[in-house]
Structure 1
Amino acid sequence: MQTEKKIKLFLVDDDALFLKSLEIEFLDPADFDIHTFATGELCLENLKENPDIVILDFHLNGINKSAINGLETLDKIKSFNESIIVIMLSSQDKIDVAIKCMHHKATDYVVKSETAFFRLKQIVTNVLHSQKIEKTLHWYVNKMG
């Protein structure tokens, strides 16, 4: 019996409590191989593990003021591998911040709120579903063509 590969999920946030809550939220269902990082630098050091999805905080300098921020981390992730899905997360409910993230090739932007975990799971599910459809379509086109 063939089992599907777990989705490698990187969670990056300098708020330890929020990061742990996010990790717990994605432990169920157990479809994910979860790696957590408190800084963008630690995330970048581990990119060789080829994450499928990165959920990345916009502000990452709450503990270390000289740490790189989420936007810089996003740019470096995309220069490493354009196809890594990056979902930005922020406590800022400002449209210009969300637009800036999208211009830097983020897949989506979620505001930290009481619905953030639900929205993140919904976005991840939609992304994975659409990737599955693309793979099936690609296989079908190659088989028929």
Structure 2
Amino acid sequence: METQNQFKFFIVDDDVFCANVYEQYLTTLGYKDITAYSNGTDCLNNLHLNPDIIFLDHNMEDITGFEVLKKIKRYNPNIYVVMISGQENMKTAIDALKYGAFDYVIKGKDVCEKIGEVINKIIRVKEELAKSNPGIIKRLLSIF
């Protein structure tokens, strides 16, 4: 595990058990800056803490995952949001990506492996962005 990629994670899931599983897994990967929220509102109220990656449950009580996703993206389009859902639904996955999610993960036995794969994808994307002209990326992102 390369420690130069220390990300700040938010885990947003009203299922405390799931949130704990993700948090434990991230800890075993060597990450330390992890905050779990049991609802979307608390997550949105803490975006000023500038998380790099948010694992966001699609199905929550107080406010839907999509609403939270849209608000996160309006607040800061550079935050990587990974939608996590209990059901395998193509439309939900497509909508998540349409609204700006970086990826869509389905809850299941291999959810932690999938989370690990997504983090590796994000690391690769960030490396590519850093190699190419960072000025262009910033300008592109400011348009949206």
TM-score for the superposition, normalised by structure 2: 0.86
Partner of 1:11: 11
* Residue 5 to residue 123, structure 1, CA distance change in 2 (3 Å): closer
* Residue 125 to residue 5, structure 1, CA distance change in 2 (3 Å): closer
Task: Give ranges in structure 2 of 5+ residues lacking alignment.
Answer: 135-144
Aligned pair partner of 2:98 in 84, 103, 114: 103
Partner of 1:75: 70
Measured in 1, the distance between the counterparts of 2:77 and 2:132 equals 21
* Residue 138 to residue 31, structure 1, CA distance change in 2 (3 Å): farther
Measured in 1, the distance between the counterparts of 2:63 and 2:58 equals 10
Equivalent AA in structure 2 for residue 38 of structure 1: S
Find the residue that maps to 1:30 and give its secondary structure: coil
List per-residue Cα deviations over 1:42-66 (Å, max 9, x = no partner). Answer: 10111001111100000111xxxxx
Measured in 2, the distance between the counterparts of 1:4 and 1:21 equals 24
| Higher Rg of the two aligned structures | 1
* Deviation of 1:5 (Å): 6.3
1:106-145 to 2 correspondence within 5 Å? 106-138=101-133
Task: Give ranges in structure 1 of 5+ residues lacking alignment.
Answer: 62-66, 140-145
* Residue 32 to residue 79, structure 1, CA distance change in 2 (3 Å): same
* Deviation of 1:24 (Å): 0.2
Indicate conservation of the 8 Å contact 2:5/2:123, yes or no: no
Partner of 1:37: 37
Equivalent AA in structure 2 for residue 22 of structure 1: Y
Equivalent AA in structure 2 for residue 111 of structure 1: I
Partner of 2:138: none
Indicate conservation of the 8 Å contact 2:40/2:64, yes or no: yes
List per-residue Cα deviations over 1:36-91 (Å, max 9, x = no partner). Answer: 10000010111001111100000111xxxxx1111100000000001110000001
Aligned length: 132
User: Aligned-residue CA RMSD in angstroms?
Assistant: 1.5
Partner of 2:50: 50
* Deviation of 1:137 (Å): 3.5
TM-score for the superposition, normalised by structure 1: 0.85
